[in-house]
Structure 1
Amino acid sequence: MLSPSPFAWVSQYLFGFFFAYGVYLPFWALWFEDQGVSAADVGMLMGLGFATRCIANLLITPRIHKAESLLPALRWATLACTIFIAAHLAAGPSFMMLALVTVLFNLSFGPVVPLSDAMANYYANRGMLDYGRTRLWGSVAFIAGSSVVGYLASQFGANMIVYTAIAGFVFSMLLVMRHPATMPISQHEGDAVRPKLTLLLKDWSVIRFLVLIALIQGSHAAYYSFSSIYWKEAGHPESLIGYLWSLGVVSEVLLFAFSKKWFAGWSLRTLFVISSVGVMVRWGLTASTTAVGALVVIQLLHGVTFAIAHIAAIQYIQKSDANKMVALQALYNAIPLGAFIALMMAVSGWGYELWGAKVFWGMAAMGFFALFIKVEPKNRGVRDINENSQPEPQN
């Protein structure tokens, strides 16, 4: 289908992109380790990647505030991701070369998530798709990517991690080159006005939102960097580790699939409290045991610690002024999901070398502090099209 519906275009692109991300996020630390990189340096490299995403989302993403600029920007970013992910094969085992390609890749990778989410939000606000049902295909792809690469790495070696990621980005490149049936276009003159990030960062509602999300999503830093290494040291094979990561995303898929039905009428406060409690329980268990049964419970809680918080964050952004949505999406990905996770990855690398799995208790504490931050969005003064309009058929 050369001109798919908005739902088909966004969900299919997310499938390709998150397949590659399902390879990158769980297994890149293992690939670095296979190159001879120490645990502390793994933390530094992974943290450097997230820090670079932060810079990209502060300096590059907000410039793409017009709806009609979203598609060209996604195409260039996906092409650059494909090139620089492949460059890792020529970089190892030099730490400086690995750091260089990490920066280049994440400069390209960073804008993709907020821009693709901005595409989804654009169509969702016009009743053309449901965000949860669209985003779940990214989660399904993450499961596929982490499962496939876990098997391939255990059978054929760690370089299969890079080869599989390359395949995912090539597939994404083919998908992003198509035109959706309805192209994104700015509807009002004010939608094309570029908002100033400095003004948004003076808004206490925005600041509270960013701090709250930083605590909840930042608590995943040690998980992203060291859970695979931690579980492998406990004697679990790469294939099981891949299945565990996939199981976590299965719960995420269920939350996205039924979010509109399950959470209709729920306040943002309620969603964030549930997610914060999940953070305390999940990372407390992670610090305490590596038994397979417990790991299953831990991974099923991913839907609570990640998906519910993400759904609440997207609801906050969707209720903002149209010209601020990409800027807020950029800040969301730059600060809580970029800078703060980068900092916590570096800290967790140092902490993991000193204390091992006890570092996860620090992650659990972040959920406790998140309980005390209240966030409510400012109304746009326009009707929520998702609630008052019927979406077009999603097939």
Structure 2
Amino acid sequence: MKDCTYQNAYKRLSIHYFFYFAVLGILLPYFALYLRSLDFTPVQIGHVLATMLITKVIAPNIWGWLADRSGRVIFWVRLATFMSFSIASLLLVVESYWAVLLTVLGFSFFWHASLPQFESYTLGCLAENKHRYGLLRLWGSVGFIVSALLVGWQIERVDIDVVPFDIVLLLLLVWLSGFLFRERKAHHEEQLDQRFFKVLKRPEVLGILAVSFLVQFSHGVYYTFYTIQLSELGYDKELIAWLWALGVLAEIGIFFWMAPLFKKFAVKSLILLGIGLTIIRWLAIGFVADELLVLVMAQLLHAFSFGLLHAAAIYLVDEFFTGRTHGRGQALYAASSHGLGGAVGMFIAGYAWSFGGAELAYSISAIAVFFSALIAWRWLR
């Protein structure tokens, strides 16, 4: 469809990415802080945030199967984002641990269900221009920065209670932005289709999924306790917001340069570089967080620990899963990495933080990333 070419769809795709990741710009820096204001314990906070991600193990696979079977990707994106907005509205009234946990379980299921299918739609629009994926995805990072800074400013001048209101407002905008798109007719040539499980058994496919799982596992403590850690060290909320924003600015930079990087270097080499710098980042935050300059340098490494590794994984998954397996391939990547990996990482981070603080929690993350390097070296091509 003509509407789904890179040139014609760029602005509309960018708008959806902007609002979707603007939600994340509230959840990652401030939701744990909001839960702490409700007197949740570190373990309870870890459980709630892990629940938010564990739904990503199941939801994308269900939505991927439905979208691939029906061929109506945008219909399923709209339905998921509407359900996410509707259920999240309960955050405006619930405050008890179990009520918040169940609400997060509901809205995050549908929120996570939508993104892999939108990624599949985007890559279909890009076609031979998929090396330009970073130029679209960077608008999600811009949305993250804008919301993180604005909500940080609100919290300082109003109250932490603005967090659920802002989440619900942005989820409404995510749903509405889904009406900017038309369905893209799927053209599946049977000779190009590969059976899903046949592709899944390939060593390089298992390798990138395992690497992505461990890398996202390592981010669990960062996403759960970074804001709390810096607050306890005496950093004010606005500075913390700027540190989050700095990390995402670095991410934007790597997305901008992704196309020439993919053309010049092997994807495996880029992944190994990102893994090495991720280990350095976690050790710096875990052991030297009282030094602002170290924190600044560590946040710049977010370009590699998330931006580079995520874009490389998306690129490889798109190469591996073609035709009728495409939607399920992106769903499997999201489920195994940001879903299962992130959820297990957050769950363990809650206990590690309780027993050994930042040093223990970030050391576990660094060890996990080290094992991902061994897998990448052995299995990726």
TM-score, shorter chain, exceeding 0.5: yes
Instruction: Please tell me the residue identity of whatever aligns with 2:298.
Output: I
1:362 aligns with 2:364: yes
Matches within 5 A, 1:199-278: 199-278=198-277
C-alpha separation between the residues in 1 aligned to 2:191 and 2:24? 31
**Distance 1:67-1:265 versus aligned 2 partners, 3 A rule:** farther
After TM superposition, give the deviation of residue 21 of structure 1 in Å.
Answer: 1.6
Indicate which of 19, 22, 26 corresponds to 2:25. 22
What's 1:161 paired with? Answer: 163
Instruction: Please tell me the residue identity of whatever aligns with 1:159.
Output: D
1:51-78 deviation per Cα after TM superposition (whole angstroms, max 9, x unaligned)? 1121112333332126841111111111
Query: Contact 1:123–1:129 at 8 Å: present in 2 too?
Result: no
TM-score normalised per structure 2: 0.92
Aligned-pair identity in percent equals: 24
SS at match of 2:374: coil
C-alpha separation between the residues in 1 aligned to 2:191 and 2:216? 29
What's 1:393 paired with? Answer: none
What's 1:138 paired with? Answer: 140
Structure 2: runs of 5+ lacking an equivalent: none
Instruction: Please tell me the residue identity of whatever aligns with 1:84.
Output: I
**Distance 1:97-1:144 versus aligned 2 partners, 3 A rule:** same
What's 2:341 paired with? Answer: 340
Query: Contact 1:278–1:304 at 8 Å: present in 2 too?
Result: yes
TM-score normalised per structure 1: 0.89
Structure 1: runs of 5+ lacking an equivalent: 378-395
C-alpha separation between the residues in 1 aligned to 2:213 and 2:40? 28
Query: Contact 1:55–1:334 at 8 Å: present in 2 too?
Result: yes
After TM superposition, give the deviation of residue 88 of structure 1 in Å.
Answer: 1.1
SS at match of 1:144: helix
After TM superposition, give the deviation of residue 191 of structure 1 in Å.
Answer: 9.5
**Distance 1:74-1:337 versus aligned 2 partners, 3 A rule:** same
After TM superposition, give the deviation of residue 9 of structure 1 in Å.
Answer: 1.6
C-alpha separation between the residues in 1 aligned to 2:292 and 2:248? 17
C-alpha separation between the residues in 2 aligned to 1:63 and 1:247? 38
| More helix per residue | 2
**Distance 1:360-1:263 versus aligned 2 partners, 3 A rule:** same
Deviates further, 24-33 or 248-257: 24-33
Query: Contact 1:247–1:299 at 8 Å: present in 2 too?
Result: yes
C-alpha separation between the residues in 1 aligned to 2:188 and 2:82? 31
Query: Contact 2:19–2:174 at 8 Å: present in 1 too?
Result: yes
**Distance 1:78-1:128 versus aligned 2 partners, 3 A rule:** same
C-alpha separation between the residues in 2 aligned to 1:67 and 1:195? 17
1:13-68 deviation per Cα after TM superposition (whole angstroms, max 9, x unaligned)? 11111112211122111111111111110001111111112111233333212684
Instruction: Please tell me the residue identity of whatever aligns with 1:176.
Output: G
Q: CA RMSD in A?
A: 2.1
SS at match of 1:264: helix
C-alpha separation between the residues in 1 aligned to 2:330 and 2:298? 28
Matches within 5 A, 1:1-395: 5-65=8-68, 68-92=71-95, 94-127=96-129, 130-180=132-182, 183-190=183-190, 196=196, 198-290=197-289, 291-320=291-320, 321-358=322-359, 359-374=361-376, 375-376=379-380
After TM superposition, give the deviation of residue 84 of structure 1 in Å.
Answer: 2.0
**Distance 1:191-1:185 versus aligned 2 partners, 3 A rule:** farther
C-alpha separation between the residues in 2 aligned to 1:129 and 1:308? 13
**Distance 1:194-1:8 versus aligned 2 partners, 3 A rule:** farther
C-alpha separation between the residues in 2 aligned to 1:33 and 1:78? 27
C-alpha separation between the residues in 2 aligned to 1:190 and 1:292? 56
C-alpha separation between the residues in 1 aligned to 2:225 and 2:191? 42
1:343-390 deviation per Cα after TM superposition (whole angstroms, max 9, x unaligned)? 11111100101111111111111221122123447xxxxxxxxxxxxx
C-alpha separation between the residues in 1 aligned to 2:192 and 2:12? 23
